[in-house]
Protein backbone atom coordinates (compact mmCIF):
# COMPACT_ATOMS: atom_id res chain seq x y z
CA UNK A 1 0.00 0.00 0.00
CA UNK A 2 1.39 3.42 -0.93
CA UNK A 3 1.59 6.34 1.51
CA UNK A 4 -1.12 8.15 -0.40
CA UNK A 5 -3.65 5.58 0.67
CA UNK A 6 -3.29 6.25 4.41
CA UNK A 7 -6.50 7.26 6.21
CA UNK A 8 -10.14 7.13 5.20
CA UNK A 9 -10.99 7.51 1.53
CA UNK A 10 -12.29 10.84 0.26
CA UNK A 11 -14.77 9.07 -2.05
CA UNK A 12 -15.91 5.54 -1.46
CA UNK A 13 -18.23 3.00 -3.07
CA UNK A 14 -19.27 0.21 -0.70
CA UNK A 15 -20.60 -2.95 -2.31
CA UNK A 16 -22.54 -1.03 -4.95
CA UNK A 17 -24.90 -2.75 -7.35
CA UNK A 18 -26.68 -1.21 -10.30
CA UNK A 19 -29.28 -3.04 -12.30
CA UNK A 20 -30.93 -1.95 -15.54
CA UNK A 21 -34.17 -3.87 -16.14
CA UNK A 22 -32.87 -6.92 -14.30
CA UNK A 23 -29.40 -6.82 -15.87
CA UNK A 24 -26.66 -6.11 -13.34
CA UNK A 25 -24.17 -3.57 -14.72
CA UNK A 26 -22.36 -3.46 -11.35
CA UNK A 27 -22.19 -6.38 -8.94
CA UNK A 28 -21.05 -5.45 -5.46
CA UNK A 29 -18.16 -3.14 -6.36
CA UNK A 30 -16.16 -1.45 -3.60
CA UNK A 31 -13.64 1.27 -4.34
CA UNK A 32 -11.98 4.11 -2.45
CA UNK A 33 -10.17 7.18 -3.72
CA UNK A 34 -7.98 9.00 -1.21
CA UNK A 35 -7.04 12.67 -1.13
CA UNK A 36 -4.52 13.65 -3.80
CA UNK A 37 -4.64 10.19 -5.30
CA UNK A 38 -5.03 9.45 -9.01
CA UNK A 39 -6.95 6.21 -9.46
CA UNK A 40 -7.40 4.79 -12.96
CA UNK A 41 -10.57 2.77 -13.57
CA UNK A 42 -10.06 0.48 -16.56
CA UNK A 43 -11.79 -2.47 -18.16
CA UNK A 44 -13.39 -3.69 -21.39
CA UNK A 45 -16.31 -1.93 -23.11
CA UNK A 46 -19.49 -2.46 -21.13
CA UNK A 47 -17.61 -3.41 -17.94
CA UNK A 48 -19.55 -0.81 -15.92
CA UNK A 49 -17.01 2.05 -15.69
CA UNK A 50 -19.39 4.86 -16.72
CA UNK A 51 -22.14 3.36 -14.57
CA UNK A 52 -19.81 3.44 -11.57
CA UNK A 53 -18.94 7.08 -12.33
CA UNK A 54 -22.67 7.83 -12.55
CA UNK A 55 -23.19 6.31 -9.10
CA UNK A 56 -20.19 8.11 -7.61
CA UNK A 57 -21.36 11.50 -8.97
CA UNK A 58 -25.04 11.06 -7.96
CA UNK A 59 -26.19 10.95 -11.60
CA UNK A 60 -27.75 7.54 -10.83
CA UNK A 61 -28.63 5.96 -7.48
CA UNK A 62 -27.18 2.52 -6.71
CA UNK A 63 -29.70 -0.32 -6.68
CA UNK A 64 -27.90 -1.53 -3.56
CA UNK A 65 -24.87 -0.40 -1.60
CA UNK A 66 -23.58 3.00 -0.56
CA UNK A 67 -21.57 5.91 -1.90
CA UNK A 68 -19.77 8.06 0.66
CA UNK A 69 -17.93 11.34 0.27
CA UNK A 70 -15.81 12.43 3.24
CA UNK A 71 -17.48 9.62 5.17
CA UNK A 72 -21.03 10.89 4.53
CA UNK A 73 -23.61 9.04 2.46
CA UNK A 74 -24.56 10.79 -0.78
CA UNK A 75 -27.91 8.96 -0.99
CA UNK A 76 -30.64 11.20 -2.44
CA UNK A 77 -28.27 14.06 -3.31
CA UNK A 78 -28.62 15.74 -6.74
CA UNK A 79 -25.41 15.97 -8.84
CA UNK A 80 -25.20 19.78 -8.48
CA UNK A 81 -25.39 19.42 -4.69
CA UNK A 82 -22.58 16.87 -4.82
CA UNK A 83 -20.60 19.34 -6.95
CA UNK A 84 -21.00 21.97 -4.23
CA UNK A 85 -19.45 19.50 -1.77
CA UNK A 86 -16.39 19.34 -4.03
CA UNK A 87 -17.23 16.32 -6.18
CA UNK A 88 -17.42 16.99 -9.91
CA UNK A 89 -17.13 15.09 -13.18
CA UNK A 90 -16.88 15.19 -16.96
CA UNK A 91 -18.88 13.06 -19.40
CA UNK A 92 -17.87 10.47 -22.00
CA UNK A 93 -20.20 12.32 -24.40
CA UNK A 94 -19.29 15.96 -24.09
CA UNK A 95 -21.84 18.22 -22.42
CA UNK A 96 -20.83 21.71 -23.49
CA UNK A 97 -22.94 24.69 -24.49
CA UNK A 98 -22.02 24.88 -28.18
CA UNK A 99 -23.66 28.25 -28.77
CA UNK A 100 -21.80 29.90 -25.88
CA UNK A 101 -18.19 31.02 -26.13
CA UNK A 102 -15.34 29.09 -24.59
CA UNK A 103 -15.09 31.62 -21.73
CA UNK A 104 -18.85 31.63 -21.18
CA UNK A 105 -18.85 27.85 -20.78
CA UNK A 106 -16.41 28.22 -17.90
CA UNK A 107 -18.38 31.13 -16.41
CA UNK A 108 -21.57 29.06 -16.32
CA UNK A 109 -19.69 26.52 -14.19
CA UNK A 110 -18.32 29.28 -11.92
CA UNK A 111 -21.77 30.75 -11.49
CA UNK A 112 -23.30 27.38 -10.66
CA UNK A 113 -20.60 26.96 -8.04
CA UNK A 114 -20.82 30.39 -6.47
CA UNK A 115 -24.53 31.05 -6.99
CA UNK A 116 -23.76 34.53 -8.33
CA UNK A 117 -22.69 36.20 -11.56
CA UNK A 118 -19.04 35.62 -12.47
CA UNK A 119 -16.97 38.26 -14.26
CA UNK A 120 -15.33 37.39 -17.58
CA UNK A 121 -11.83 37.47 -16.09
CA UNK A 122 -12.76 34.62 -13.74
CA UNK A 123 -12.72 32.24 -16.69
CA UNK A 124 -9.15 33.00 -17.72
CA UNK A 125 -7.09 31.09 -15.14
CA UNK A 126 -8.98 27.88 -15.95
CA UNK A 127 -8.57 28.38 -19.68
CA UNK A 128 -4.87 29.07 -19.16
CA UNK A 129 -4.55 25.86 -17.16
CA UNK A 130 -5.80 23.77 -20.10
CA UNK A 131 -4.14 25.91 -22.79
CA UNK A 132 -7.30 27.46 -24.26
CA UNK A 133 -6.93 31.11 -23.22
CA UNK A 134 -6.26 32.23 -26.80
CA UNK A 135 -9.64 30.83 -27.89
CA UNK A 136 -11.70 32.37 -25.06
CA UNK A 137 -14.05 34.30 -27.37
CA UNK A 138 -14.74 31.58 -29.92
CA UNK A 139 -17.96 29.60 -29.91
CA UNK A 140 -17.46 26.25 -28.23
CA UNK A 141 -18.84 24.37 -31.24
CA UNK A 142 -16.08 25.91 -33.41
CA UNK A 143 -13.36 24.16 -31.42
CA UNK A 144 -11.83 20.95 -32.74
CA UNK A 145 -12.94 17.89 -30.77
CA UNK A 146 -9.77 17.57 -28.68
CA UNK A 147 -10.04 21.17 -27.53
CA UNK A 148 -13.69 20.69 -26.63
CA UNK A 149 -12.58 17.90 -24.31
CA UNK A 150 -10.05 20.26 -22.73
CA UNK A 151 -12.80 22.86 -22.34
CA UNK A 152 -14.95 20.36 -20.50
CA UNK A 153 -12.01 19.75 -18.21
CA UNK A 154 -11.58 23.52 -17.65
CA UNK A 155 -15.25 23.73 -16.72
CA UNK A 156 -14.93 20.91 -14.22
CA UNK A 157 -11.79 22.47 -12.69
CA UNK A 158 -13.49 25.89 -12.45
CA UNK A 159 -15.81 24.39 -9.85
CA UNK A 160 -12.64 23.95 -7.73
CA UNK A 161 -13.39 20.35 -6.80
CA UNK A 162 -11.46 18.23 -4.32
CA UNK A 163 -12.50 15.12 -6.24
CA UNK A 164 -12.66 15.01 -10.02
CA UNK A 165 -14.21 12.11 -11.97
CA UNK A 166 -13.16 11.93 -15.63
CA UNK A 167 -14.80 9.68 -18.21
CA UNK A 168 -12.36 9.00 -21.07
CA UNK A 169 -10.79 12.46 -21.22
CA UNK A 170 -8.22 11.30 -23.80
CA UNK A 171 -10.76 9.94 -26.30
CA UNK A 172 -10.34 11.80 -29.58
CA UNK A 173 -7.17 13.62 -28.48
CA UNK A 174 -4.04 13.72 -30.62
CA UNK A 175 -0.82 12.31 -29.16
CA UNK A 176 0.37 15.86 -28.41
CA UNK A 177 -2.90 16.64 -26.64
CA UNK A 178 -2.61 13.38 -24.69
CA UNK A 179 0.85 14.35 -23.47
CA UNK A 180 -0.54 17.74 -22.40
CA UNK A 181 -3.44 16.00 -20.64
CA UNK A 182 -1.00 13.85 -18.70
CA UNK A 183 0.87 16.95 -17.46
CA UNK A 184 -2.46 18.58 -16.65
CA UNK A 185 -3.60 15.62 -14.54
CA UNK A 186 -0.36 15.74 -12.57
CA UNK A 187 -0.76 19.51 -12.13
CA UNK A 188 -4.33 19.02 -10.95
CA UNK A 189 -3.20 16.51 -8.34
CA UNK A 190 -0.42 18.87 -7.24
CA UNK A 191 -3.17 21.44 -6.54
CA UNK A 192 -4.69 19.00 -4.04
CA UNK A 193 -7.35 17.38 -6.21
CA UNK A 194 -8.01 13.64 -6.21
CA UNK A 195 -8.81 12.12 -9.62
CA UNK A 196 -10.73 9.03 -10.71
CA UNK A 197 -9.82 8.48 -14.32
CA UNK A 198 -11.78 6.18 -16.63
CA UNK A 199 -9.56 5.68 -19.64
CA UNK A 200 -8.92 3.21 -22.45
CA UNK A 201 -5.53 4.79 -23.24
CA UNK A 202 -3.52 2.49 -21.00
CA UNK A 203 -0.22 4.25 -21.52
CA UNK A 204 -1.82 7.39 -20.11
CA UNK A 205 -3.89 5.66 -17.41
CA UNK A 206 -1.16 3.38 -16.07
CA UNK A 207 1.43 6.14 -16.51
CA UNK A 208 -0.26 8.72 -14.24
CA UNK A 209 -2.18 6.53 -11.79
CA UNK A 210 -1.08 5.80 -8.22
CA UNK A 211 -3.51 2.91 -8.21
CA UNK A 212 -5.51 1.03 -10.81
CA UNK A 213 -8.90 -0.61 -10.40
CA UNK A 214 -10.05 -3.07 -13.06
CA UNK A 215 -13.70 -3.85 -13.79
CA UNK A 216 -14.93 -6.75 -15.87
CA UNK A 217 -18.62 -7.66 -16.34
CA UNK A 218 -19.58 -5.38 -13.46
CA UNK A 219 -17.12 -6.86 -10.99
CA UNK A 220 -13.85 -5.58 -9.62
CA UNK A 221 -11.18 -8.05 -10.68
CA UNK A 222 -8.07 -6.13 -9.56
CA UNK A 223 -7.04 -3.17 -7.40
CA UNK A 224 -3.35 -2.37 -7.08
CA UNK A 225 -0.37 -0.42 -8.35
CA UNK A 226 0.07 -0.12 -12.14
CA UNK A 227 2.85 -2.73 -11.91
CA UNK A 228 0.69 -5.20 -10.00
CA UNK A 229 -2.22 -4.79 -12.39
CA UNK A 230 -0.08 -5.10 -15.52
CA UNK A 231 1.21 -8.49 -14.39
CA UNK A 232 -2.11 -9.81 -12.99
CA UNK A 233 -3.08 -12.90 -15.04
CA UNK A 234 -6.82 -12.22 -14.61
CA UNK A 235 -6.44 -8.67 -15.92
CA UNK A 236 -4.31 -9.82 -18.83
CA UNK A 237 -6.88 -12.39 -19.92
CA UNK A 238 -9.92 -10.11 -19.37
CA UNK A 239 -8.56 -6.89 -20.79
CA UNK A 240 -4.89 -6.31 -21.42
CA UNK A 241 -4.40 -9.30 -23.68
CA UNK A 242 -2.17 -8.29 -26.56
CA UNK A 243 -1.86 -4.72 -25.21
CA UNK A 244 0.20 -5.87 -22.19
Ligand X SMILES: Nc1ncnc2c1ncn2[C@@H]1O[C@H](COP(=O)(O)OP(=O)(O)OP(=O)(O)O)[C@@H](O)[C@H]1O
Binding mask 64-103 for Mg ion (x = CB under 5 A): ----------------------------x-----------
Instruction: Please tell me the distance from the alpha carbon of residue 32 to that of residue 5, in angstroms, as a whole number.
Output: 9
Tell me whether residue 16 or residue 132 sits nearer to ligand X (CB atom).
Answer: 16
Cα–Cα separations (whole angstroms), residue 205 to 137, 158, 232: 32, 23, 16
Please, what is the minimum distance in Å from the beta carbon of residue 181 to Mg ion?
Answer: 17
Shortest distance (Å) from residue 79 CB to ligand X: 15
Question: Residue 231 has what DSSP assignment?
Answer: T
Task: Give the separation between CA 71 and CA 73, rounded to whole angstroms.
Answer: 7
Rounded Cα gap, residues 178 and 202, in angstroms: 12
Task: Pick one of ligand X, Mg ion, none as the site partner of residue 47 (Cβ within 5 to 8 A by kind).
Answer: ligand X
Tell me the closest approach of the beta carbon of residue 55 to Mg ion, in angstroms: 13
Residue 9 contacts which entry, ligand X, Mg ion, none (Cβ below 5-8 A, type-dependent): none
Edge-to-edge strands, sheet with 163-167? 87-89, 163-167, 194-198, 38-42, 211-216, 219-224
CA dihedral 120, 126, 132, 136 (to 10 degrees): -10
Evaluate whether 2 touches 210 at the Cβ level (below 8 Å): yes
Considering the complex, state which of residue 28 and residue 131 has its C-beta at the smaller distance from ligand X.
Answer: 28
Q: Verify binding: residue 50, Mg ion, rule CB under 5 A.
A: yes
Number of residues forming the site for Mg ion (CB under 5 A): 3
Least Å distance between CB 174 and ligand X? Answer: 21
Find which of Mg ion, ligand X, none residue 158 binds, CB within 5 to 8 Å per kind: none
Say if CB 105 and CB 139 are below 8 A apart. Answer: no
Shortest Cβ 49–Mg ion spacing (Å): 5
Closer CB to ligand X, 90 or 105, in the complex: 90
Contact call for residue 54 and Mg ion (CB under 5 A):
no
Could you give the C-alpha distances from 200 to 69, 166, 206, 244, in angstroms and in order? 26, 12, 10, 13
Which of Mg ion, ligand X, none lies near 146, with the C-beta cut-off 5 to 8 A by kind? Answer: none
| Residues at the interface with ligand X (CB under 6 A) | 20, 25, 43, 45-51, 92
Amino acid sequence: MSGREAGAPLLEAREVWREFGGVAALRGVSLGVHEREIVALIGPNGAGKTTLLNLLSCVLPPTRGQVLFRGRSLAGLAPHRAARLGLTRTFQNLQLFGSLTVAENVLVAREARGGHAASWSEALPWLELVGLAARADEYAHHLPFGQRRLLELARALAVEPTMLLLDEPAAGLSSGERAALRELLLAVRARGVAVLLVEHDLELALGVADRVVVLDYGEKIADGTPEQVRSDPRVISAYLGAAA
